[in-house]
Amino acid sequence: MRIFARMHQLPPRMAAGVYILNSGFTKAGADEEAAKATHGTAVTAYPFLRRVDPVAFTRMLSKTEMALGAALLVPAVPSLAAGAALTGFAAGLIGLYLRLPAMRQEGSLRPSEQGIGMAKDVWLLGIGLGLVIEEWRACRRH
């Protein structure tokens, strides 16, 4: 596993990292009402989260996003590790999209007007998988 990201990996890592880091900072300042809304959406898709306090959940999500964003932005974090973390995070976001019926047109995977913003998170999954697959293939060659 390479320690430093390769030059061609930096643009997608930077794009995803800045986007996720900003989301984490935005959630860090969330008031109780915003925390309840964030938690409510997550609980609708993932009912096991019902047991978690909304404010604690939003703080945890905020810190997770900030850590992931920073890991993507720091070239010294191996792309395999950053890509795997991004893939897991993005899979959770895509899970939200798939589990919340209002996000999709009825009987379809196509986004509704409400779901367009969330459907766009598929690019994060693509970046994460691209990093993982490239690094995995490079490890297999050596």
Six token digits for residue 47: 């009912």
How distant, in Å, are the alpha carbons of 58, 127, 129 from that of 90? 17, 9, 10
pLDDT in tens, 68-120: 999 999 999 999 999 999 999 999 999 999 999 899 999 999 999 999 989 98
Radius of gyration of the chain (CA): 16
Tell me how far apart the alpha carbons of residues 39 and 70 are, in angstroms, rounded to a whole number. Answer: 23
Q: What pLDDT, in 10s, does the model give residues 1-22?
A: 677 888 999 999 999 999 999 9
Task: Determine the pLDDT at residue 49.
Answer: 97
End-to-end CA distance of the chain: 10
